[in-house]
Structure 1
Amino acid sequence: MKISLKRSIIISSVSALLLAGVATPALAAPVKNIVLVHGAFVGGAGWRPVYDILVKDGYQVTLVQEPLTSFNDDVIATRRVLDQQTGAAILVGHSYGGAIISEAGNDAHVAGLVYIAAHALDAGETEASNGKKFPNTAHPFARSADGYLTIKPENFASDFAADLSPKEAEFEAHAQMPTNASVFTANIPDPAWKVKPSWYMVAEADKIINPDLERMYAARAHSHKVEIPGASHSVYESHPEEVAALIEQAAEHALR
């Protein structure tokens, strides 16, 4: 596969950060299946830049479209996609998607987990409770009469997508998927990161999840961690090459 010089530099840089201490089975083939899970308020389309890179590099990539109606519904949607995989898969989650992959990641198809500015909850924790311990700097969410949350459009760019173009941030602000508030109080009794290898990307300018909370998640899970300076919560869209490089490292080195 032919890749650009920029991609080579990114992959080499991520490799240098990750390879120390990563056990790789002798002659093991890389995982070729990648499953991408979006977070709250957005759909899977935001993964398109990462998807395009991974597909170009020879991976089989599938996106989960969660209904965001309940945590259980979103986990079921993810497991449905995992059931379609032939062989091992790397399961990737952004934001609230991290909670989903921490539960669904116990599936036998999953060889490794990748958290992109995402929640990696332990038993007894919720996103809401951890947010009180590590407060973010975003505005409060808007709540509908039937208990669904969104980000107020006038706050979306600054809170969620500060490093996207104004045009793209404006579109996403008005294309939000309302998210049932109950998902932020879901409990995960047996998080998969305790038994499966994980990789973590910290977005250093994240206003939705406190970057120090992201660092805590990565350290606790013994994740192979990288940090992206100046990146907003939309790091998966604004830095697709770095995100794809981290996913590819997981695919190369996850134990199978």
Structure 2
Amino acid sequence: MRTTRKHTSTYLTMILIVLMFNRGGAQKKDSDHEINNIILVHGAFLDGSGWEDVYQILKKKGYNVTVTQHALRNFEDDVAAVQRVIDMQDGQSILVGHSYGGVVVSAAGNHPKVSGLVYIAAHAPDANESRAELVKKYPSAYKSLIKGADGFDYIDPAKFADDFAADLPREKATFMAYSQVPTADAVFHAVIQNPAWRSKRSWYLVAKSDRIINRDLERMYAKRANSFTIELDGASHAVYASRPKVLNLNFHLQS
């Protein structure tokens, strides 16, 4: 059985993930196999550049790290783009998804080369659920979403820093606000049929000051998936960019 733990210290410097059990719950006695491939999957409104600091930390530790650049225009295309990156890896991989990227990794994670999923303040829907319906049950705090007449959404740049990235330096948050990637509203209504977290190991970081995703929704996702869970005080939705040392992911997995 996977274990769920919570840590709320703001002095947390890394997440150490040690997987001791196989999927059925029994500990393996044969030789360990390290998973060296980590794939970072961005969420809505932004591209993969926000992962740069995490990428650099993990690369220095010797991991093979790839950042996806899916277009946020069509859910199926986004999943295909991530699966294309998985295909390129030379062995088993861990998928790390932020925000809407959690929906993408929940679908793409069924790929046979994926051994586990990490959700960073991310959506993790079950079969026949959509992110759009779930946020009605767990309303978000932000009111800055703008829905364009052309079917693409974005966050009001004047309110972006407060709602999306309150724990980032203001200058960096403002740059993110004005370099947004408009996101097709349709992707938020995507429904998956076979979420990978039901059959694969998962970990979840709850951002306790998240205004984009209700932290109780994040907790529900983590509990339902039986994820190893960490809660981080003061973390905004942009925790993947604002706290890169917290996301210093160390994987030593038995397969």
TM-score (structure 1 length as normaliser): 0.90
Q: How many Å apart are 1:144 and its aligned residue?
A: 1.8
* Alignment pair present for 1:75 and 2:96: no
Q: Is this contact kept in 1: 2:144–2:159, CA < 8 A?
A: no
* Alignment pair present for 1:118 and 2:143: no
Q: How many Å apart are 1:180 and its aligned residue?
A: 0.2
What RMSD in Å do the two structures reach over aligned CA positions?
A: 1.5
Identity of aligned residues (%): 49
- In structure 2, the partner of 1:3 is none
Q: Is this contact kept in 1: 2:144–2:160, CA < 8 A?
A: no
Q: What pairs with 1:1-256 in structure 2 (closer than 5 Å)?
A: 10-11=13-14, 14-15=15-16, 22=21, 25=28, 26-245=30-249, 248=250, 251-253=251-253, 255-256=254-255
How many corresponding residue pairs?
Answer: 239
Q: How many Å apart are 1:155 and its aligned residue?
A: 1.1
Q: How many Å apart are 1:202 and its aligned residue?
A: 0.4
1:84-121 Cα offsets, whole Å, 9 max, x none, are 01100001100000000000000011010000000010
1:61-86 Cα offsets, whole Å, 9 max, x none, are 00110110010110011011111011
Tell me, what secondary structure is at the counterpart of 1:124? coil
TM-score (structure 2 length as normaliser): 0.90
Question: Greater share of helix residues, 1 or 2?
Answer: 1
Q: How many Å apart are 1:29 and its aligned residue?
A: 2.2
Question: Greater share of strand residues, 1 or 2?
Answer: 2
**Greater RCO structure (CA 8 Å; 6+ sep):** 2
Tell me, what secondary structure is at the counterpart of 1:29? coil
Alpha-carbon distance in structure 1 between the residues aligned to 2:157 and 2:178? 7
Q: How many Å apart are 1:22 and its aligned residue?
A: 4.8
Alpha-carbon distance in structure 1 between the residues aligned to 2:192 and 2:123? 11
Alpha-carbon distance in structure 2 between the residues aligned to 1:56 and 1:27? 25
Residue type at the aligned position of 1:53 = I
Alpha-carbon distance in structure 2 between the residues aligned to 1:176 and 1:128? 20
Unaligned stretches of 5+ in structure 2? Answer: 1-11
Q: Is this contact kept in 1: 2:152–2:184, CA < 8 A?
A: yes
1:159-207 Cα offsets, whole Å, 9 max, x none, are 1000000100110100000000001110010000000000100000000
Alpha-carbon distance in structure 2 between the residues aligned to 1:143 and 1:204? 26
The structure 1 segments of at least 4 consecutive aligned residues displaced by more than 6 Å after TM superposition are none
Tell me, what secondary structure is at the counterpart of 1:184? helix
Alpha-carbon distance in structure 2 between the residues aligned to 1:63 and 1:202? 21
